[in-house]
Chain A
Amino acid sequence: MKKQVKYRSRREKAVRRLALLLALVLVCLLLGNYNLSPRGGIRASEELVHLGPTEVVYPIGSLGLKGTGLSRGYLCANENGMLFALTRFYWAYGWMDYGFAVLDCSGPEGVHGGEYSIYKRREGEDNWRWFVFGRIDAKGGALLQAEMGGYDETGEIWVTADRVDIPRSQWLQRDGHTYFLQELPQYAAEEGRAYRRVRLTLTDEAGNILYQDLVTQGGSTSLG
């Protein structure tokens, strides 16, 4: 049978092309970085911050900001820290890391707090969200308060511009740890960044302060 088969039936052509397509897809999936699920995007962020494998504590869901396509936010944690991971789906690239804020929880503090401001630039519009999140290790707490404000010119006096309460009923339990996540209200930013700090205060039933400190960890992402 030493002749060249010069013609291929249409069905044969279709089958061969499909097989080639499938082979290429497999190559791309294996050698590529194409994540078919948001979990892959979270993993990418985990790798970047070197936090190690985490579990999702709370799925924030769609970001709800204009111009962010199909994107999701997830609050994740493991024993040592927390990761507020954003992931976005691109047709050409799959689910990719889209931004993150990370919080180291390995210290001895009673409350580990992080903040995350997510910003997508748009003409003349306020298109951003602001969260505070973290883990409560101290026992006996009943109410966590997040105060937005800053220190005045002297640097000594804390001025509160706004306050949000996060009572125990809103805390999240997972794997033996207590976590919290709270979106902070937007308000017209005062001049200067000083008024954009967050201070967390944990009090017990009686009102005694178990923990009070500024949030220093977290992150800020200007979305692409």
Chain B
Amino acid sequence: MKKKTIDHTELLVLTLLSGEDMYGYQIITELSRRSDRTFEMKEGTLYPVLHGLWKNGAVECYEAEAPTGRKRKYYHLTRKGREALKVEQEEWRTYARGVEAVLSTAPALG
């Protein structure tokens, strides 16, 4: 999954799924909770990302009962997805280090 700019949505979704299988709404709420509300995306736009990951084989999906009692479509990270996650994490860290490196050369601002 090579991209010129790193699409952090995929990275975040993959990371969440590496912990446990989740369904769409759950991912949104988890994302918001863990990032202390830094990441709040327009909820619908999660789905193209999920379906894209599914299409490429990074995740599998199945139907199961959610804690709310309703049936929801759960997403599960595949082995291929885990590999992709590792790669994306590496790329992100390299990017972050790069940004940090540039910032540290800036004069401190009052």
Contacts and interface: CB of A to CB of B under 8 A. Distances in A.
In the complex, A touching B (Cβ < 8 A) = yes
B73 A7 contact: yes
Interface stretch (B29-37, B52-60, B91-99): B52-60
Interface string B33-73: 00000000000000000000011110011111000000001
A11 B73 contact: no
Nearest to B52: A9
A125 interface: no
Interface string A1-41: 10111110111100000000000000000000000000000
A154 to B, nearest CB: 88
Nearest to B21: A3
Contact of A12 (B57, B64, B73, B76): B57
A47 B55 CA distance: 51
Contacts of A3: 62, 64
Chain B interface size band reads 10 to 19
A9 B62 contact: no
Contacts, number: 23
Interface in A93-121: none
A159 B92 CA distance: 98
A6 B62 contact: yes
A174 to B, nearest CB: 57
Contacts of B63: 6-7
B35 to A, nearest CB: 28
A7 B55 CA distance: 11
Contact of B55 (A4, A5, A6, A11): A11
Interface in A110-153: none
B62 A4 contact: yes
A3 B73 CA distance: 13
B57 A9 contact: yes
Contact of A9 (B54, B64, B73, B76): B54
Contacts of A11: 55-57
Contacts of B64: 3
B57 A5 contact: no
Contacts of B55: 9-11
Contacts of A9: 54-55, 57
| Across the A-B interface, the 9 shortest Cβ-Cβ residue pairs | A6-B62, A9-B54, A7-B61, A6-B63, A9-B55, A5-B60, A3-B62, A5-B62, A11-B55
Interface of A: 1, 3-7, 9-12
Given A3-B64, A6-B63, A9-B54, 7 more contacts: A1-B76, A4-B62, A6-B61, A6-B62, A7-B62, A11-B56, A11-B57
10 contacts: A3-B62, A3-B64, A6-B62, A6-B63, A7-B63, A9-B54, A9-B57, A10-B55, A11-B55, A11-B57
